[in-house]
Structure 1
């Protein structure tokens, strides 16, 4: 193999290798940007989930249920004489 041919092959291999490095870095940057966006979306969903859990706990609170039953449905606790015990 002549030195000129060897040098040409080495230059071509170097250029191909450099293009491969550039491609790999570009793909890495794109994937990192995508990862950052997905992590941000995950964080926003976690915040929303926490808010929903807090809202659910508020709606399910026994004091709130009692207040809604009294205000909207007109419900009250039965008095002593209104209670009937049924035995088998």
Structure 2
């Protein structure tokens, strides 16, 4: 009976050791994946900041006004050309 108990305890100890090694391996794999995803997130945050800055530059009112005048030939109407419509 004590031999059987010893074999069972030995098997449980070996299984527990294998479980610990496997969990450490999985932890390392997941940590590497987490680090990679965090780097990707940081790169995307930097790119998003650049795109926001670019959007703000392109949408600047002076730039829009300049393009409207140069490319589209638009201008502010003269006072005589303004008509007020009342209901």
Q: TM-score, normalized by length of structure 2?
A: 0.85
CA offset at residue 79 of structure 1? 3.0
What stretches of structure 1 of length at least 5 have no aligned partner?
A: none
Q: 1:34-86 deviations in whole A, cap 9, x for unaligned?
A: 11111111111111111111111111110000111111111122233333344
1:15 equivalenced with 2:27 (yes/no)? no
Identify the residue that residue 53 of structure 1 maps to in structure 2: 52
Moved over 4 A (4+): none
- How well do the aligned residues superpose, as a CA RMSD in angstroms? 1.5
Instruction: Determine the C-alpha separation between the residues in 1 that align with 2:54 and 2:39.
Output: 23
Give the number of equivalent residue pairs. 87
Please say which of residues 21-30 and 69-78 is displaced more in the overlay.
Answer: 69-78
Identify the residue that residue 75 of structure 1 maps to in structure 2: 74
What stretches of structure 2 of length at least 5 have no aligned partner?
A: none
